[in-house]
Structure 1
Amino acid sequence: MKNLQTYQTKSPYSHGDEVIYNCQPGYIKFGRIKLRCNNGKWVQSTPHVQCRKRPCGHPGHIKFGSFELVNGDEFVFGARVVYRCNEGFQMLSPTDYRDCRADGWSNEVPRCEAKNCAYVQIENGFLASKYEHSKNNYFPSSIGQVISYSCHPGFLTPNKEEWPRITCTKFGWNPEPKCLKQCDPSLPFAHGRFIFLNQQTFREGEEISFSCDEGDDTPNAEGTATCTKNGWSPAPHCDTKTICEGLLLEHGDIQPRKDQYQPNDVLQFYCHEGFTIVGPASAQCYPFGWSPLPPRCKEQVNHCKAPANIRNGSIVDDLLEEYQHGDQVEYECNIKFVMTGSKIIECVDGKWTPVPSCTLEEKKCGPPPSIPNGHAAGTVREEYIHGEDVEYECEENFVIVQTSLARCLHGLWELPRCADFSTKCARPNMPKNATFASAVPLKSQYDNNDVLSYICDSRLREAKCVEGEWLPKPECKDLCPPPPQIPNAIDVAEPRTYESGEQINFLCEKLFVLQGPQNISCEDGKWQLPPRCVDVSTVTVQHSTDFPIAPGSQSNPMPATSDGISSRDLLDFLHTIHAAGKSAALKHRIVVYKCPSAWLPFHTPLVFLYSKISREAHGCA
């Protein structure tokens, strides 16, 4: 019979012999199980007595979780229950199930504990210094732990608080720490004005209206601009209706050829056979005219002598005695110094384009932080200077993508990434007018950091496999002309053609401030509308409820002047603020001081920056 066993054995059994049976392990019997030999057959003396599966009782509840019966429908021998943790909790025990065995439930009831909150890296922001410098003591954080963070200049927290607090919950950090781009509506722009009431700052995604003076046009029909990561878009400009006149190129051709061109139109320049183009091969029409200026076609071009050395920097490649027209040279700054101007100069008909300069960067970085699934290799220091590198390594089954070096730049770490080793990239579909240029046979899948080369309209391009996607995405788009050279700006961009998606930054000369986006992008062969560099003396006084308009008012007294500061020094300071990408109207209000003639031999009023935070005042020298 099923599930029975006996220890009474003999052979053979006679008619009338009886045998008593017990149940197998894991089963229990109800009554006495006896079988009798009756005319050669075994007959159960008590037919209603049987073996049943041994019950184990309730398996036990799990705190912060639940269980499910997956084998059987009762808590009896052979049953299995599987435990799960609630959302926001994680299993501590190595086994997530219990089996009902002959001697009861296997192992202990599993345990669940709340998930910890990991160290958080905030784009364009940072944690309070005590968390950054002692992260091993604070992270991972337990549920209920509260930390605070702030944003870099030019960015705002979602609630606009300077030091908001976030709490570790079972779902992670709440609210999610974010730093949104801040756009300033108070800076003036030519021939127009913003329309806003009490809102002094605008965050990324918020929209503002503006109006233009009579006879001027807005860059978009609605007369609105949206705050984006790159500033106001479209850039809030009001321009008189502008056209660019047609050009002539001696010993060459221009395409397309027209008598007049509209802003954003792009021209291509070609020289006749036997002539060399001196200057850009393309130009774009802007509200201020053509940029860059059109080239010349020459039969003979001059060579260049060795380029000049720069202070606190050097030339990357070996130095030659002579360079041909079109040759380029790249510069780099020493550690602790930052470059102003284009790092690449070009020999153009015997003359080099302007060389860059290297200036001291005093901002420093703290210890290199951990990254998801990776960390800094070797011993780390408490402080690093601008330009220093630190090697990183990934945990097992993860691989560094793009670069294994973290670099300290302007007081912030530029960090590498660790990707799952098993992540692959499928062979990409090549865009129209593109062909693969790889010398090895193509594969169906590629590993992280694999590089594919392809040709777009005779131009060689590359894409790298990074965490399952190709960067940059393989595509063939028109090239943009060399960047616009706006009046009163320092040339910081390389004098070359640019691919769609590439960006350039702008920096104004001293005594000028940037009006418009700090950077623009190349989109489908055309540059976005660039900013302007406005004479700082034209910056108007902004009305504020926080600060008085007129200095010396008894009801709203202005801060007293102490040792003072010269107008040129102050303008240098204002230039420094804009060069660093900060908004002068973010934490400062601009007012005007007129000093006695005995103190300042200038007719232009002194522009004064009054800090909301420090309340420090500078006056007249």
Structure 2
Amino acid sequence: MRFPVKIALLLLWNICTAQDCNKAPPRRATELLTGTWSESVYAEGTRAIYKCRPGYRTLGSIVLECKNGEWTSLYPHRICMRKPCGHPGDINFGSFELLEETEFLFGAKVVYKCNEGYQLVSPFNFRVCEADGWSNDVPFCEVIKCSAVATPENGRIVTSSLDLNQEFTFGQVIQFSCNPGFALNGDRKIHCSTDGDWSAQVPTCEEIICQKPSIQNGNLLSKLKPSYKENERIQYNCASGYKPVERGDAICTERGWTPEISCREVTCDPPSLTNGNVHNLREKYRGDEEIYYQCKTGFYPPSTGNKATCTTEGWSPLPRCNWKPCQYPVIENGELYKPYYQSEDYIQRSFPASIGKEMFYHCNDHFEPVRGTNSYYSYWTKFICTEKGWNPVPKCIRQCSIRSIPNGQFSPREERFNEGEVITVKCNQGYSLKNNKDKIECTKKGWSVVPNCEKLKTCSVFRMKVNNGFFTDSNMYYIINTSANYQCKEGYGTTNGERNGFITCGKNGWLGQATCIKICDIPQFINAKQKGKKTFLKPKERLEYECMDGYEFGRGQTKGFKTCYDDEWPTVVECYEKACSLPILHQMEPNIKKDKYQVGDVLTFRCIRGFKIAGPSSVQCYHFGWSPRLPTCKKEVNCCEQPPEILNGIAKDSKKKVYCHNDVVEYNCDLGFVRRGPKKIQCNDGEWTTLPTCIEEKKRCSGVPELVHGYIQTPDLSYSHGASVEYGCVENFIMVGKKTSTCIHGHWTQPPTCIEQDRLGRCASKIFEDFQVNLNNEFDDIVISYKCNRNSEFKSTKCINGRWSPPPSCSKGKSCAPPPQIPNSQDMNITMNYEDGEKFGVICKENYLLQGQEEIICENGLWNSLPRCIEKIRKCGRPPPINDGDITTFPLPEYVPESRVEYRCQKYYMLQGSRFVTCKNGIWTDPPTCLRIPCGEPPQIHNGIIPKVSKSYEFGEEVTYTCEEGYNIDGLATITCSGGTWSSPPQCKDVRCSRPPRFNNADMVVTSKSYYMPGDKVVYRCLSNFQPEGSTEVICIGPNWKGDPQCKEEIRKCGPPPSIDNGDITTFPLPEYAPESRVEYRCHQFYVSQGSRFVTCKNGIWTDPPICLETCTISERIMRRNNIQLRWKHTEKIYSRPRLHIEFSCIWGYRMAEGSPPFRSICVEGKINYPICE
């Protein structure tokens, strides 16, 4: 290739590939473009140089070059970044916070704040990182100061090393105190706060004064004053069931009354009972409330019982369950064996008994023991203490004996019965037990009823005459508490209005009189019915009745009543069919003129020449009169506007421009809706007649009927009212009937059938012999048109499976007048006649229910079987609430009409108005009101004062009593008016003390007065040679003196204790003993002490010492020699205490020798007189 050609191609390639930039270099937020850039196009390769904006920096230059029509960075890593400012500087007594940043870069801001107790004194509290560094200066904080404080009057400032006239810095504290007799009113300490003010006002020192205390549930015992000064003391007591929170007195201090004057209700927490359970355990118990508890098996309550009472000191006695397997056995109707030498107290102190202890008991006459282990002697029964208690439990049960019962028999046939056993007694005819029962029980007191059959008192029917009646039972006599039945004759009844009655036999004869009074039978009703379901009436009762629809008694009356015996009582009540009279007509003529028309008669109208009828052309006579409203005749009639639209429905016909008089429009309801009212409306003299209403039918259809040899074209799961399904038949089958089935009110209409072609029935042509059609063969699935006469229109019928549908007919049913306006149905204006078989849906007015069919049918010119619109039964909700009262029965969610509910007021309220309300048409009648019962004047009390007395007081008002000097309130000082009565008033109790008591060996220091006030004191002094022991004063508290000064004779000591025979003291003797010293004695071996083993030093003299008596030793040698043994013990040697009895018995095979001492001997001075057996 030639060189010039190559050059040309190279230039051509450069021209094709190079591309200029059509806009200036971009402007950036952090960068500034240098130079002038005003051209619209820049050649490729042009460079733009940028520099950073103030506050930003980068290394090197930022260059963009035009490449391929775009500005491209030559050094992408070079960007402008924010300049740093370094640390902003710390602040003394403060700190700073970096806002919305993490580094000290251009644009960053720090905010300074001072520590608590310091404040900023600089104009700015922030610094901003700018292009040339931080803005402003570093602020500084100075301490907050408070002004000087003045010393309070009657007080002082308690502080150290502070000049009170100087300023105080934040956090410094000043403390105040008051002079004696004054108390601080305010804070004891105040400090200089962060805002430069003191934390509180400087307190004041006020004189210590305590106001007269108000003691709820308590009374003041001390003399009442308006106010009290420091250290003054008062005494008080609490009402019953309450106790002082701490104690019954208080002192006036700077903190008020100390301790707090308060009466707290006496309460007890539930006791902590180990090994037991408390009945009806609660969280709290009030004073004097009692609890009962039960111990677990093996544990027992103390001897005081299993009851405890809540007192001011807690539970008393303290509930506890101790391990006591065997308590002292208390044997009802029996006796515990006790050795003759042991007292009852001594025996009881040995209980509870240890396991294994044996005891004996025997029962009283007519009682038997519960048998257990065999006893030595049948007279005594043994029982043993075990881990589970006494075994067997010592118990004496009653035994009842019986051999025969006069005038009766008993079973089971035994002679003895134990306590709790029951026998059955059968008395002879005319006899009975005293309680008229057939069972008696053996109880602790014997037989529950004396086992004796007594002759019964009876009542005779011969002594009772039933006027206008007779006894129905065959019995001649009746025993007490049985009844005889009687029946009244025809036309008579009991006083309760019943045909049958009864009369009861009492102790003194028949109770009352069998009575039959004249009654009224229910008459026969013809075309009428009674209200209610009575079968007869008592005198003065009223029978109400009414006529059936379309009937009346006469003169328009449809209701009536008769009173039994007020006038002649009817045997028949008859209503007569209503009739309609000929209406007044203007410019029109009826088809039939009569004086009266029967119910069901139809009257047709025709206007005279020159007039047009406006309204229905015919009306029908009903039991409520002519319906619909009569038409009018007019010379000119008007056209109507476009037919109105209806909800959930649409006009069937296409709209016309003009609708004139008598034009008709038909409506259809949407799918799922049912038409009520007329199907069509008519233009009547410029106004449309009543529109239909489309109501949603909530019932849906499911389960489409299956078709044999067929199928459903469009299946679905559920279908609303009016929806249809279409069927088809399989090949070689023909559909007979309508090809659709429609959902009507939740049910499917009759579906078609599929019949094989060869089996289709054929229709005969003979049926058309009377019609104008010429046919002489049979047909299948063909439509025939025919005429009834020459001037009539053609009709058609189709042959379906051997039957003509519809059957050929020339008879025409009569049309009906417009549907009637049924009473209480929705108002309607219908002028069109309805053809035979047409239906009309009836809609009742609000609050009325349809009784009968929802649709009426035109049948051969008459509307038959008219429904009724009856008023809804409107129930009532809950009865209205009233203040301070309630209904007497449990409230129900709703009540039927005429229900009655009774009200009752709370205690202390009286009822105003009727106490009953009645449900009337869904609304309750007005309820009563409960008014508080006022109180009269409060009761007067002796020595009491009422500040101001009124004649009447309202509920809840209070009156407070005070007492005269020398008297204190006993009870609650305030009484309350509640329910017309006052609560119990208090009494003014005389709290003065009489003359002080006299004490032995003491005299009063001052002369006695006739009486003393509470708080008064009297001081005593001891006589010579006597010295006081304890306090020497008494104080008057209430009406009694409190204190017991004692003057004791000078202390006298005792010498060594006295010596006794056969005994000595247990300690080393001293030369002398202080008063009340005690020394113990002990007898030598084989001797026992009689009397207290202790002696006491009393006023220099010892009390009497004990005596040591010699015991008796029972020798086995002597018993063998005398052929005797111990009756109760079998040991080799026994020691017997002096003056105790010992019983012996003969050895088996021996008997007491003649002249022998008795078996029962006594230990006297260590000797025993032994009996002799031979």
Shorter-chain TM-score tier: 0.3 to 0.5
> TM-score by structure 2 length?
0.26
Task: Give TM-score scaled by structure 1 length.
Answer: 0.46
